[in-house]
Structure 1
Amino acid sequence: MILFRACSAIALAAILSSVPAGAALSQTVDPHLALEAVESPESLAWVKAQNDKTLPLLSADPRFAGLQADALKILASKDRIAMPTFVGKTVFNFWQDQTHVRGVWRRTSLESYKSADPQWETVIDLDALAAAEGRNWIWKGADCRPETHDRCLISLSNGGKDAVTVREFDLTTKSFIDPAAGGFVLPESKQTIEWLDADTLILTRDWGPGTTTDSGYGFVIKTLKRGQALSEAVEIFRGQKSDVSARPNVLRDAAGNRVVLLTRATDFFHDETYLWDGQRAERLPIPQKVGVRGLIGGKLVLKIEEPWTIDSNASAKSFPAGSLVAVSPGFLTKARDKEIAISNDCDPCQLLAPGPRQSIDQVAVTDHRVLAVVYDNVRGSLVSLRLRGEFGVTSQPLPVIDNAAVSLGSHADEGDDVFYTVEGFLTPTQLKLADATGTTAQTVKALPALFDAKNLVVEQKSATSKDGTAIPYFLVHRKDWKLNGQNPTLLHAYGGFNLSKLPVYDPLVGKLWLERGGAYAVANIRGGGEFGPAWHEAALKANRQRAYDDYFAVAEKLIADKATAPRHLGAYGRSNGGLLMGVAMTERPDLWNAVVVESPLLDMIRYTQLPAGASWIGEYGDPAIPAERAWIEKYSPYQNLKAGVKYPLAYITTSTKDDRVHPGHARKFAARLDDLKVDHLYFENTDGGHANGADPKANARRWALHYTYLSRQLMDH
């Protein structure tokens, strides 16, 4: 076993003697705990041994070089849409290509951006910065000072981690501001920062021992003035160590209102929301399952994920789960104390409520409108909502395309201009610019076709899950395919955290798989947000198995229809989808000949003890509670690998720098397969973080490895 070469053979032999090879892994003994030490010499030696086995095998395949070249051409193409971000009225973009591997942050005017050949000015050259400072900097974004838009907080990650170093940057001089001159510099941490005013930050981070939660996030919020050391920051709010996090949210609107909210996340889905007036924090009586989406006319725009009834002075108003609501902080504080009656002036009022097969996805607030992306049976639309006082709310659509995914982009800090994209599985992305107060939009950029789709077709179909629930799925395939069970088919899903799988244009799937004869299916299983909060909640905690049964039902339907057969059916998922892959492999190994297990959770008995696992108890449950552990251990992939089972050859992959889903999950799963003498492939990228691929070249290799493996397993023989 490879692990013996990395650790003490004597110590491991003593442990392993208590673990029968023919049984599931004991719940009290974990022989591979050493692999949880992310960068220990022993762990890295084990990783190297695994990589040295996998990389030569896949990279020697005659298809690998072509797949990598095609992937790099797409990822580094100058024909890609340079996605815009407004800073004031200026358009900024972060761009990577073969020349700028780490990337450049650049700017141009809106009019120039709309032209066929924008004239970009480089603001930060990240390749040059990393070289000058000898650091492995990866771009993580910029947050610019409101109103003046002259200074920005730049977040830089070491190798792609979620933890970032933050440095203040002057857009006028295009230089970082020295701390000696009053510039903000915040050392590496997982941190949430907002501009409170021009010279004051409000933030949460690791302030030192005892200030981070069990999930690894800060729970102490402080204000920091220009020129102050971190030790001089003033505490204004404190959550609890058992929370997920605490974070500030500073909201401003066109009328000059500013609202400062402090959010205590008691678990991943439940928040306590406090209004801070500069002196004290006062809890607002709003649902705990809520997303604060913006401020307009002094009113908070809330997306509520649970039913909400407001009672005040013998009157009441109710709003359904999944709806958008506007309400002023003043009304909330008075209503809580029964000091105000509910009136007809749209305070509070329902902006939008989804139907039974609908969901509200993204929401943006401009100076005068609230924009909402609405999905009806997983097909997107975009509406612009106007609050009209006692006249309620009016709605008007903005143009999209049929059967599309719709995504809101940046909107102007001043005015109502907004960028958004529309795309479909076979329809390249279009970037549109609209004035949210109108009904038209200009297509300012369009992605060229990056794969040949003329012989492809998209169908939306349905499978019946174990409990009788209809599970929709999309299927993309050649028009001339035959239902003979011979089609190499890749089935993708996620099924968690209220996140939806949408009909997006993915040129990598198109070029590296569809164009080469593969079929591609996307299952909209429970646990996602495709049909609102109830669809997500149906697979929470004790009901987690429903998501997995839904996925198996789609696979079985593909096989029953003779679209494919287990010999030619592959499964792919990452993160929570990687957990789905682990379950697919351990519960239904008969359904697949390939399983890509990427950035996965797999040891669900120890997941809360691996950063940032404790934050997900609201999704999966707590294995420290015996009753909850009982249903978690029924599906936890690491514990349910057994000897004597014919498993498909899995491709397991993660990143050393992943500080969101710990690489120990993937490592231990692979090591357990070694224990059982089950052949598998394992690759660990040493950079990239949870997002994978710190640069286009690394990401191109990543996808080439994926599709080389899938080609070998599903297209050969």
Structure 2
Amino acid sequence: MPTNAPDYPRAPRTELVEDLHGRIVADPYRTLEDASDPATQAWSAAQDDLYAQALATTRERAAGTPFETERLTARLRELLGAGFVGAPAWRGERRFFSRRAGDQEHAVVVVAEPGPDGEVERVLIDPMALDPSGTTTLDAWQPSKEGDLLAYQVSTGGTEESVLRVLDVATGEVVDGPIDRARYSPVAWVPGGASYYYVRRLAPELVPDDEAQYHRRVWLHRVGTDPATDVEVFGAGLETTNYYGVSVSRDGRWLLVSASAGTAPRTDVWIGDLAAGPRGADEVDGVPPLREVVVGLDAETGAWVGRDGLLYLHTDLEAPRGRLCVTTPDEPGVEHWRTLVAQDEDAVLQGVAILDDGSSTQAELLLATWRRHSVSSVTAHDPRTGAPVAGPLPALPGLGSVSGLVTRPEGGREVWFSYTDHVTVPSVHRFDAATGTTTLWAAPPGAVARVPDVRVAQIEVTSPDGTTVRAFVVARADALDDDGRPTAPAPTVLYGYGGFQISLDPAYSATTLAWVEAGGVYVVANLRGGGEEGEQWHRDGMRAHKQNVFDDFHAVAQHLVDAGWTTPDRLACWGGSNGGLLVGAAVTQRPDLFAAAVCSAPLLDMVRYQRFGLGVTWTEEYGDADVPTELDWLLGYSPYHRVVDGTAYPAVLFTVFEGDTRVDPLHARKLAAALQHATSSDRPVLIRRETGVGHGGRSLTRSIGLTVEQLQVVAHGTGLAP
């Protein structure tokens, strides 16, 4: 071990080797999988001490710079001080929305409605009022069709184990629930508010111990009744790991149910006529016969019944960049679909909104939002033919991201959408098709911070197989010449994800701005595996093709070096979850290319990943280690299995969360131990553990605290000396 290397705690190491389908696989740190093992606990406690010592040293070195703890904390609070406001969910004259003031720990749910002296706002759900410790998060909410009831789901400690309740909007009183085992459950209200459809797992005693996270069903619940009496609607006999979606049309006639096995990019859809009554004399009202819309085909489809009574389908069937189809609910099968908005060969269809005059259900205008190389655009179409039409369109403030096209359930010519880009906080805009005007509808409630004068460029890089990969480069204007090129190499963060069809589109980021303001360069790579270029782009980075994601990332990193943006001793990689896997692959495949890495809530042991957390639901993304051919894919890049003794690895900061029920912290423990044992570098390998939080939402204070430490460690590792 190098002279200046940290004195790493000794991990329990064994000579465990397994024969897996004829492949000899070593697993020297298997015992670290068990968080309850006293040896694991002692090792973790020693790692906590090591991290505390290293952080103290890093903070001493940051004194007097923008990354001094108090100064950086204050700056991040300032950059986040505008808060957040979400698009409205209209229910008659009431509108519901999420909002977080700049100093609030969590967003709250607000209802606004007419009062005797104008509009009145009331907070309906405040997670801090429910739990002043800040460890309770609001996972989802859904108002009834009339807007007099609100279903909401909360969980504690980061577990994401949502509990469902219903409150009376007028009084704020909880009138239904709690219903547990409602993680990731949609709520589909039936008109009148007496009942709703939702998704709930079977009781633990009804399933094998290691399958308690699965076995979901669609249920019909009547408000105020014991959930034990809920009616099972759908799911029996289908895939154990299925996730379900459920919705009810505005008029209450049509029930739509969707199913996907884990995170597989395939969705089956069924439709039922609630006006047709139950399936038979011994069946329950509210459980109609369900007809196939699209079942068993290799495609994702979202379906809904519009105000005009037609069945609309947003699908990538025979259109990997997406198309919009239409049929009638009485003839829902694929053979009856008519393409309304065809696939664009250069953009991905994100969503649509259909507008009318509010007095008739006859559609007048169809708006479509597109993702064109990660930048949003909007087009207008004839709602009957799909043909492009001239005329006014929503005006977008810049080259950024649009999320959602929200209309009133009762129709009208208005549409609301959220917009953001790299230097613009998210805000809500309103487009009036009658006048062709776009106006700012709702800005975040807090003060918008002064942001540095930055430039954003989208670069194109060629991956080893010839594929063009794009990335956004954010840099201070005074660090660029007149041609937009760097005047000198700078400490640089390269961020990526590359999986699950998730797109890294332009978005406001306090982390990015704080880094760039201090003189760094921040780069966001749009890698295969994501959704930036459609479903084929996703599939080109999954399963047998996962190495493409890492090759894309390495290609962007090498380009940044070759083009003079940075140097390997000033370059850091950063990612979380599936992006943590990306960082693990970068560190173990190209340790020569990076000086530092932030690896957050990562997947790293790809041979055993499906045995823990929600791993089994991701086999369609990565592969199944119980299948010999697929095990070979996984072994080919599994970071834990690619560690080589005597390699000079970058500095690595693993950040893990003890409440994480998606990705078990064992992954970070095992790779940290392996890297600490193997590295010939004096650059530290550290673990930052946090309790009371999990994979998803967290309070503002905790978010800032984590970001401060990550930025300080990366600044030290890349030599950023403002």
Q: 1:188 to 1:436 in 2, by over 3 A?
A: farther
CA apart distance, 1:674: 3.2
Which structure 2 residues correspond to residues 106-117 of structure 1 after superposition, within 5 A?
A: 106-109=110-113
Q: Which residue of 2 aligns with 1:491?
A: 494
Q: Which residue of 2 aligns with 1:690?
A: 695
Question: In structure 1, which of residues 293, 303, 306 is the aligned counterpart of residue 314 of structure 2?
Answer: 303
CA distance in 2, matches of 1:157, 1:634: 37
Give CA-to-partner distance per residue, 1:158-208, whole Å, 9 cap, x none: 12322211112111111212xxxxx23202442524235222232322222
Secondary structure, counterpart of 2:332 in structure 1 = helix
Letter in 2 for 1:499: I
Secondary structure, counterpart of 1:542 in structure 2 = helix
Q: Which residue of 1 aligns with 2:283?
A: none
CA distance in 2, matches of 1:524, 1:437: 37
* RMSD after superposition: 3.3
Q: Which residue of 2 aligns with 1:377?
A: 373
Q: Which residue of 2 aligns with 1:184?
A: 177
Secondary structure, counterpart of 1:54 in structure 2 = helix
CA apart distance, 1:31: 4.2
Question: In structure 2, which of residues 209, 218, 221 is the aligned counterpart of residue 224 of structure 1?
Answer: 221
CA distance in 2, matches of 1:617, 1:425: 33
Question: In structure 2, which of residues 350, 353, 357 is the aligned counterpart of residue 361 of structure 1?
Answer: 350
Q: 1:391 to 1:169 in 2, by over 3 A?
A: closer
Q: Which residue of 2 aligns with 1:521?
A: 523
Q: 1:64 to 1:620 in 2, by over 3 A?
A: same
CA apart distance, 1:282: 2.8
Which structure 2 residues correspond to residues 125-164 of structure 1 after superposition, within 5 A?
A: 125-131=126-132, 136-146=135-145, 148-164=146-162
The answer on 1:292 being equivalent to 2:302 is yes
Aligned 8 A contact 2:84 2:100 in 1:
no
Secondary structure, counterpart of 2:636 in structure 1 = coil
CA apart distance, 1:469: 1.4
The answer on 1:280 being equivalent to 2:289 is yes
Q: Which residue of 1 aligns with 2:560?
A: 558
Give CA-to-partner distance per residue, 1:66-124, whole Å, 9 cap, x none: 2122223333x2x33432432514333444457643554333248999x9xx8642323
The gaps in structure 1 that reach 5 residues or longer are: 6-11, 21-25, 178-182, 308-318, 337-341, 343-347
Q: Which residue of 1 aligns with 2:503?
A: 500
CA distance in 2, matches of 1:519, 1:414: 47
Question: In structure 2, which of residues 257, 260, 267 is the aligned counterpart of residue 261 of structure 1?
Answer: 257
The gaps in structure 2 that reach 5 residues or longer are: 1-6, 274-286, 357-362, 481-485
CA distance in 1, matches of 2:552, 2:231: 50
Give CA-to-partner distance per residue, 1:648-686, whole Å, 9 cap, x none: 011111211122222222222222223336731211221
Aligned 8 A contact 1:497 1:536 in 2:
yes
Secondary structure, counterpart of 1:498 in structure 2 = coil
Q: 1:574 to 1:86 in 2, by over 3 A?
A: same
CA distance in 2, matches of 1:274, 1:202: 14
Q: 1:135 to 1:480 in 2, by over 3 A?
A: closer
CA distance in 1, matches of 2:36, 2:409: 43
Aligned 8 A contact 1:244 1:267 in 2:
no
CA distance in 1, matches of 2:110, 2:553: 42
Q: 1:176 to 1:649 in 2, by over 3 A?
A: same
Which structure 2 residues correspond to residues 453-464 of structure 1 after superposition, within 5 A?
A: 453-454=452-453, 456-464=454-462
Q: 1:698 to 1:266 in 2, by over 3 A?
A: closer
Aligned 8 A contact 1:294 1:365 in 2:
no
Q: More deviation in 26-35 or 430-439?
A: 26-35
Letter in 1 for 2:395: P
Secondary structure, counterpart of 1:332 in structure 2 = coil
Letter in 1 for 2:409: D
Aligned 8 A contact 2:310 2:326 in 1:
yes
Give CA-to-partner distance per residue, 1:458-499, whole Å, 9 cap, x none: 222211110111212221223343646631111112111112
Give CA-to-partner distance per residue, 1:566-612, whole Å, 9 cap, x none: 01111111111111100000000111111111121111111111121
The answer on 1:53 being equivalent to 2:86 is no
Secondary structure, counterpart of 1:530 in structure 2 = coil
Q: 1:137 to 1:378 in 2, by over 3 A?
A: closer
Letter in 1 for 2:299: K
The answer on 1:202 being equivalent to 2:197 is yes
Aligned 8 A contact 1:492 1:572 in 2:
yes
CA distance in 1, matches of 2:320, 2:560: 36
Q: Which residue of 1 aligns with 2:639?
A: 637
Q: Which residue of 1 aligns with 2:483?
A: none
Letter in 2 for 1:591: L
Letter in 2 for 1:301: Y
Q: Using structure 1 for the length normalisation, give the TM-score.
A: 0.84
Aligned 8 A contact 2:258 2:267 in 1:
no
Q: More deviation in 210-219 or 465-474?
A: 210-219
Letter in 1 for 2:271: L
Secondary structure, counterpart of 2:579 in structure 1 = helix
Aligned 8 A contact 1:384 1:395 in 2:
yes
Letter in 2 for 1:715: G
Aligned 8 A contact 1:215 1:615 in 2:
no
Identity percentage over the alignment?
25
Q: Which residue of 1 aligns with 2:235?
A: 238
Letter in 1 for 2:178: V
Q: More deviation in 610-619 or 136-145?
A: 136-145
Which structure 2 residues correspond to residues 13-24 of structure 1 after superposition, within 5 A?
A: 16-18=14-16
Q: Which residue of 2 aligns with 1:609?
A: 611
Aligned 8 A contact 1:351 1:385 in 2:
no
CA distance in 2, matches of 1:557, 1:175: 58
Letter in 2 for 1:554: V
CA distance in 1, matches of 2:167, 2:343: 42
CA distance in 1, matches of 2:410, 2:201: 34
Q: 1:479 to 1:195 in 2, by over 3 A?
A: closer
Give CA-to-partner distance per residue, 1:255-304, whole Å, 9 cap, x none: 66433324253652122222234333332236442231532122332222
Q: Which residue of 1 aligns with 2:716?
A: 712
Secondary structure, counterpart of 2:536 in structure 1 = helix
Letter in 2 for 1:450: A
Q: Which residue of 2 aligns with 1:567?
A: 569
CA distance in 2, matches of 1:102, 1:230: 29
Q: 1:2 to 1:414 in 2, by over 3 A?
A: farther
Letter in 2 for 1:305: D
Count residues in correspondence: 664
CA distance in 2, matches of 1:380, 1:488: 30
Q: Using structure 2 for the length normalisation, give the TM-score.
A: 0.84
The answer on 1:270 being equivalent to 2:271 is no
CA distance in 2, matches of 1:321, 1:48: 48
CA apart distance, 1:358: 1.2
Aligned 8 A contact 1:103 1:127 in 2:
no
Aligned 8 A contact 2:155 2:162 in 1:
yes
Aligned 8 A contact 2:16 2:27 in 1:
no
CA distance in 1, matches of 2:578, 2:557: 18
Question: In structure 2, which of residues 471, 474, 484 is the aligned counterpart of residue 473 of structure 1?
Answer: 471
CA apart distance, 1:241: 7.0
